[in-house]
Amino acid sequence: MSQAGGLAYDVFVNDPPPQDGVLPNGEPKRFSPMASTLIYGGQDAVLTDPGLTGDQARALGDWVAGRGRNLTHIFVTHGHGDHWFNAGLLAERFGARVVASAGTITQMQGGVATRPLLWDKLYPGMIPPSPVTAVTVPDNRFTLEGHDLVIVEAGHTDSDDTTVLHVPDLELVVAGDAIYNGVHMYLGQSAVSGFGPWRDAIATVEALGPRHIVTGHQNRELDDDAARTIAETRQYLDDAEELLRTEDTAEGFFSAKIERYPDYLGRLILWVSARALYGAREHPEEPLGKITLSSWL
């Protein structure tokens, strides 16, 4: 928790949902923990990235309710379903508006189309109805008790048209999947573009001058130091580029990353990323969307 001029924030980290199947090293498939940020004043609050499954919605919703604030907005950083399929459920529970950038709203509609092909297969019966109810806000800005909350376009990171939320009065950036903290990064959708656009997004976040960064996926034991999370996110991309040169197979990449990052959570994401990166290399004729989708299943 951090406090400045009547505004504060706190983070709730949900456990990944249960899942069938094992990874190449024999351990169970596990998604990354999901983090939601509550930014609050004396009366009102704003929640970010409300998660994926009904169980997560209940746990997060009860935590929010315990804060005793009036939830005015639910902000969604990007279109991936793990960040927002619960938005409708929680918006209804708290009477809040769901807000996102125009680009993210388009990506959310894509996420709805992908849902039966991916998310409902991974987590059957666990995900609530997910209509896209998000709206844009003028100039990508809204306020919480007079404090500015600014939606900043980050472009391509782990997917297209991603954004972060900048709260200048808290020196805080809620970074979605532009920055990671102690968990494996989802690299699959960068298999064709490379990591240049993502590096630009990291620079965009850094230029906001945050002291604190809350990442969309994180190890809850770690702090939210901006300089550390930015440096580690860059390093992870550097290492991935190096391993893409030295490792010939997805399995080799997977093992080598674990060797370098033994404490990172969400090895399912590492395996999916490895399969997509090497799948795109081995089948350049196939559309990347098809490759990333099959990498999950």
**Size of site (CB under 5 A) for Zn ion:** 3
Q: Which lies closer to Zn ion via its Cβ, residue 80 or residue 166? A: 80
Q: Which lies closer to Zn ion via its Cβ, residue 158 or residue 224? A: 158
Window contacting Zn ion (CB under 5 A); options: 12-20, 151-159, 235-243, 249-257? 151-159
Min CB(187)–Zn ion separation in Å: 11
Q: Show contacts with Zn ion in window 205-264 (CB under 5 A).
A: none
- Interaction between residue 158 and Zn ion (CB under 5 A): yes
Window contacting Zn ion (CB under 5 A); options: 37-45, 74-82, 120-128, 251-259? 74-82
- Interaction between residue 80 and Zn ion (CB under 5 A): yes
Q: Which lies closer to Zn ion via its Cβ, residue 39 or residue 175? A: 175
Window contacting Zn ion (CB under 5 A); options: 131-139, 177-185, 235-243, 265-273? 177-185
Window contacting Zn ion (CB under 5 A); options: 52-60, 79-87, 249-257, 282-290? 79-87
Q: Which lies closer to Zn ion via its Cβ, residue 100 or residue 144? A: 100
SS3 of the chain: the string is CEEECCEEEEEEEECCCCCCCECCCCCECCCCCEEEEEEECCCEEEEECCCCCHHHHHHHHHHHHHCCCEEEEEECCCCCHHHCCCHHHHHHHHCCEEECCHHHHHHHHHHHHHHHHCHHHHCCCCCCCCCCCCECCHHHEEEECCEEEEEEEEECCCCCCEEEEEEHHHCEEEEECCCCECECCCCHHHCCCCCHHHHHHHHHHHHCCCCEEEECEECCCCCCEHHHHHHHHHHHHHHHHHHHHHCCCHHHHHHHHHHHCCCCECHHHHHHHHHHHHHHHHCCCCCHHHHHHHHHC
- Interaction between residue 161 and Zn ion (CB under 5 A): no
Q: Which residues bind Zn ion (CB under 5 A)?
A: 80, 158, 177
